[in-house]
Amino acid sequence: MRILFLSMEQVRYYRKENDKKILDPRNVEVAMAESIANLGNEVTLVIEKNPYVNDKKPDNINVIQMSLNDKINFTNMEILLSNKYDIVFCTSVAGAYIANSIAKKQNIPSVVQVLDVPVFRLKEIFVLMGFTEWKDNWTEYFKNLIKSSCIIANTTPTVNYLKNKFGKKIEDKLKLVYYATDTNYIDKISKSTKFNYDISFVSRLTFYKGCNFFLYALYRGDR
């Protein structure tokens, strides 16, 4: 199967090399594209940073280096349409309009992933700070989302939010797929280990990951 994989990832990942911190263009979406390719599919990966500058590219992955988070121009759209695909997959709701435009022109299915419910971001970041333009953008994104052939959400609250917002318009095309663990890299715990701490926070130190609740719990002395 020929798959057009639209990566919307903008998080910067770094790795340590020769005691220096360097930008690593490989991320979870690249790993996802590689996993799909390993199943025997031909994947065209559209991504802002080429992850194979210093590493050998898998044979059945083609790379188009292009930013999808800005407004896409006519030339870039022509590049994306230059090959024929069987399906187009987009990793974020922000790229739904691109995925659905390509799907419509090539008469193929489109699959769009919705990773979280942005309501709390709207309230905490943008509405309270007065950036209403961002809220308008999200509204426009969701208008394009309902045109997708299939919508994948990764949590039950996200599924419920989308059902409440769009009702029967998306009920048949909405699928729940939880996050998975790559067992090639992470094995089950073989033995219990006693650590000398009572509580831990395993995530990026970004406020929408809930680190404020963790810090507040430490402040209160919760156990």
The enclosing domain of 145 has a CATH number of: 3.40.50.2000
Three-class DSSP category at 207: helix
Residue 131 located in a structural domain: yes
- Band the pLDDT of 114: cuts 50, 70, 90: confident
Q: Domain tally for the chain?
A: 1
Q: What is the pTM of this model?
A: 0.73
Please state, as a whole number, how many other Cβ atoms lie within 10 Å of the Cβ of residue 101: 18
Report how far apart, in Å, the C-alpha atoms of 113 and of each of 8, 88, 89, 219 are: 10, 11, 8, 37
Domain span holding position 121: 2-189
Amino acid at 67: S
Question: In 148-209, at which residue ranges do the beta strands (DSSP E only) sit?
Answer: 150-153, 174-176
3-state secondary structure of 125: helix
Whether 20 maps to a domain, the answer reads: yes
217 inside domain: no
Q: Residue 177: inside a domain, yes or no?
A: yes
Is 223 within the bounds of a domain? no
Phi, psi of 6 (to 5 degrees): -95, 110
Instruction: Say yes or no to pLDDT of 150 above 90.
Output: yes
Instruction: Indicate if the pLDDT at residue 120 is higher than 90.
Output: no
Whether residue 219 lies inside any domain: the answer is no
- 181 in a structural domain: yes
Beta strands in the chain (DSSP E): 2-6, 13-17, 20-24, 42-47, 61-65, 87-90, 110-114, 150-153, 174-176
